[in-house]
Structure 1
Amino acid sequence: MTTRTPSLATAIPTTDEDPFGREVLADPLPFQHRLREAGEVVLLERYGVYAMGRYETVRAALLDWQGFESSAGVGITDFRSETPWRPPSLLLEADPPHHDAPRSVLEKILGPRELRELAPGWEADAEVLVDEVLARGTELDAVEAFAEAFPLRVFPDAVGIPDEGREHLLPYGDHLFNSFGPENFLVQHGAPHIGEHSAWVNAQCARDRLSPGGFGSAIWAAADRGDLSVDQAPLIVRSLLSAGVDTTVHAIGAVLHAFATHPDAWAQLRADPSLARVAFDEAIRLEAPVQTFFRTTTRDIELGGVRIPARRKILMFLGSANADPRRWVDPERFDLSRDPSGHVGFGMGIHQCVGQHVARLEATSLITALARRVESIELLGEPERHLNNTLRAWKRMPIRVTFT
């Protein structure tokens, strides 16, 4: 990275590196280190957007929704001047007051009481899945067997969508998160098929496709009460299906990889299963399944001596913030004695992930079930990354387990 001086008053660190290039997506840590060391704000010349990778800067921007808006899109596309390929999310891509009602409704539907009711069933489902997988042998792909299988088993049931067609969920979400970045090789790969996936997902959001008692029917009931408009209801159901599957799949993958590479931590968890919640958040901090999100400045803003003009895109590196040694001691270590609660892996402020408690329940149910049966987890070979413009994910993770 280089520093160039466009005026006597301001020195703006710049880089021509591509954070959406294949090499950086496969291993973002070296780039993120250079980004943090270059300054609080760095200009990405290739895209003409500003980037921030230090913890305090990213956290402050996430909290300042008035200065860094989401309404212009959380991807590189500026909704003020470009038309998005799908209707904007009423949660991720809206600010108050338009953001308030959808957020309030979902916070109630995904609240503590609802999750307490779900927990016994999900814990039982996790036990069944673990038994089924272990019955097939001790060598397996952790991504396919656990990280993908469990969320696709329990979350769509909770929303209330049918079994048939669920294979559309992962490729739909994958393309959605790719589309937050530039139109690169990943977007081009998914574009020919997104119409089919999108049509199926949109169809599941209709009132008559959702089974009674699920999250989806509760959203429609909120519309009937007047808490939402009828037009908003299917878009909020779509938000659940868009953001509630892929992110949890990759979060569980992050936890499993952390334990496979830290056997002492697995022994700790088996001795004290209450550490499952800490393990989940520490894996989110360490791996940050959601690596980046964009915001747009609403006014001229100065950070670290750099003046960012109004109406400019800002790329916040959540993964980099979670690895910032200015905030975390030995940040590349998976440490169950650490308090990871300040991480920004789920965002921060009014746009913090409303479904994070659901993801946490899914992950801890599965981890706890595994800890009861599995004595050890070890990698059989080098895991393979699944590349995505926004997400950090595993495509394949061969492991061997020993179990009681």
Structure 2
Amino acid sequence: MPETTATAAAPTSDADPFAPEHLADPDPLHQHLRDTGPVVHLTRYNVHALARHQEVHAALVDWGTFQSGAGVGLANFRHEKPWRPPSLLLEADPPHHDAPRRVLREILTPLALRRLRETWQTVADELVETVLAEQGTEFDAFTALATAFPLRVFPDAVGLGPYGRENLLPYGNMAFNAFGPRNDLVQADAHRVAELSAWVNDQCVREALSEDGFGARIWAAADRGDLTPAQAPLVVRSLLTAGVDTTVHGLAAALYAFATHPGQWQRLRERPELARVAFDEAVRWQSPVQTFFRTATKDVDIAGTRIPEGGKILMFLGAANRDPRRWSDPDRFDLARDPSGHVGFGMGIHQCVGQHVARLEAECLLTALARRVAHLELAGPPRRHLNNTLRSWVQLPIRIRTAS
């Protein structure tokens, strides 16, 4: 983004995007911010908000101007001590970011995922059959499907043991809450920070991991000198932090989308090869990761507004993904749409390195459901779980009719 001297003050808003009412229903605020301007100064936190797709996309790809290394939350690591060692993927920039990302890209290859596909499809088929047999035609799809499937297959792939996996979602909830202000949501987790952090750290050491998982391959990279021994457990931790919650809530978003758009479910049943498109469209439509921050490395102009060096910008990924300037009829979930270009997985060098893993999980689960379920609909009002960063769930009651 070029610098310019022709700058003007951005329009202001005293809205708190982390207030419970906005976390529960962010769409009205997102529309307000998009309509107010390409840049809006949020006076409550003294940050500049970007809610339109063009500006969000441009900031995400310009890592040199908008750094992640000062923290992707409200806290500025230039002045504040992180609550945990920063993520080598999410909260680091080149050159510190390069080796960990390169190692993960070499591990999470298309060939590695093809080897997982058959096993994961079998697990998904078995899970669907078990849920239908044991719970019948009405059940909580968030717990029974969107949570159960990723918590089974992804920790297996990383190489975790069978015990303690119930800690993964609470740890992720705590980590994503920490990207926001120190509000009641953060305080609610405070008593478990030490316990959950210790458990996750214990899973990242070489001895805790199976010999054939992603985690062991990360440690093998350290043995080769591609990572340092100190970096290896942090890279494993990044997989466990970012690879569970976002997939769980992305799958829940897809199930919610189909339960409220029955015609789209029929389209998927007729064309099951659309499963991956469906997942991306659900991620665009619901945006499990709603916001991330960046920090300006110099004075920079965005659409006529000067962002000072060291200033924080707040990128509303969820708002960008429903920007009518970029998407036609953006509030509709539509499998006829090409959702590529959405920023639900980020963009640029910090784009989610595990996004294809999440897509494979979604493809397997949605394919299994499409084989057995002719129709699904909401059986009651869904319940959201509030988080400073995630668009998350606690319950998604659905009613299904099985295929004859």
For Structure 1 versus Structure 2, the TM-score category normalised by the shorter chain is over 0.9
**2:396 aligned with 1:401, yes or no?**
no
Q: Distance in 2 between matches of 1:166 and 1:9?
A: 51
Match for residue 37 of structure 2? Answer: 39
The AA in structure 2 aligned to 1:295 is R
Equivalent residues in 2 for 1:158-307 (5 A)? 158-307=157-306
Q: Deviations over 1:183-220 (max 9, x none)?
A: 01110111111211111100000000000110000000
Report the equivalent of 2:119. Answer: 121
**Structure 1 residue corresponding to 2:22, chosen from 24, 49, 65:** 24
Q: Secondary structure at the match of 1:252?
A: helix
Match of 1:318 in 2: 317
Contact kept in structure 2, 1:381 and 1:398, CA below 8 Å: yes
Distance 1:9 1:151, change over 3 A: closer
* Structure 1 contact 39–304 (Cα < 8 Å) conserved: no
Q: State the partner residue of 2:3.
A: none
Aligned residues: 398
Task: Quote the offset at 1:9 in angstroms.
Answer: 5.6
- For the 8 Å contact 2:160–2:203, the answer to whether it is kept is yes
Q: Is the CA contact (8 Å cut-off) linking 1:322 and 1:343 kept in structure 2?
A: yes
Preserved contact between residue 7 and residue 301 of structure 2 (Cα < 8 Å):
no
1:186 partner letter: L
Residue type at the aligned position of 1:311: G
- 1:4: which partner in 2? none
1:24 and 1:259 map into 2 onto residues whose CA distance is 24
Question: What is the SS of the residue equivalent to 1:237?
Answer: helix
Partner of 1:105: 103
2:292 aligned partner, one-letter code: F
Query: Matches of 1:354 and 1:168 in 2, distance apart?
Result: 23
**1:394 CA drift (Å):** 1.6
Which position in structure 2 is the counterpart of 1:132?
Answer: 130
- 1:147-191 CA deviation, whole Å, 9 max, x = no partner? 100000100000001111111100000000000000011101111
Residue 68 of structure 1 corresponds to 66
How far off is 1:296 after superposition? 0.1
Q: Is the 8 A contact 2:7 2:306 kept in 1?
A: no
State the Cα deviation string for residues 278-334 of structure 1 (Å, max 9, x = none).
Answer: 100000000000000000000001112111100011100000000000000000001
Q: Tell me how far apart the structure 2 counterparts of residues 243 and 9 of structure 1 sit (CA, whole Å).
A: 37
Alpha-carbon shift at residue 395 of structure 1 (Å): 1.0
SS at match of 1:12: coil
- Structure 2 Cα separation of the partners of residues 392 and 304 of structure 1: 28
Q: What is the CA-CA distance between 1:11 and the residue it aligns to? A: 3.0
Q: Secondary structure at the match of 2:315?
A: strand
Distance 2:231 2:287 in 1: 30
Q: Unaligned 5+ residue runs, structure 1?
A: 1-7
- Asked if residue 59 in structure 1 is aligned to residue 57 in structure 2, the reply is yes
Q: Distance in 2 between matches of 1:192 and 1:44?
A: 30
Partner of residue 5, structure 1: none
Partner of 1:357: 356
Task: Give yes or no for contact 1:251–1:289 (8 Å, CA) kept in 2.
Answer: yes
TM-score by length of 2: 0.97
Unpaired stretches in structure 2, ≥5 consecutive residues: 1-5
TM-superposed deviation, 1:111: 1.0
Deviation, 1:366, is: 0.2
CA distance in 2, matches of 1:372, 1:293: 37
For residues 199-246 of structure 1, what are the alpha-carbon distances to aligned partners after superposition, in whole Å with 9 as ceiling and x for unaligned? 110000000000011000000000001111011000000000111100
For the residues of structure 2 that align with 1:349 and 1:307, how far apart are their CA atoms? Answer: 23
- Percent sequence identity is 65
Give, in whole Å, the separation in 1 of the partners of 2:198 and 2:7.
52
Q: Which amino acid aligns with 1:400?
A: R
Tell me, yes or no, if the aligned pair for 2:88 and 2:235 is still in contact at 8 Å.
yes
Letter in 1 for 2:324: P
Residue 339 of structure 2 corresponds to which residue in structure 1? 340
Cα RMSD between the aligned structures? 1.0
Q: Is the 8 A contact 2:173 2:245 kept in 1?
A: yes
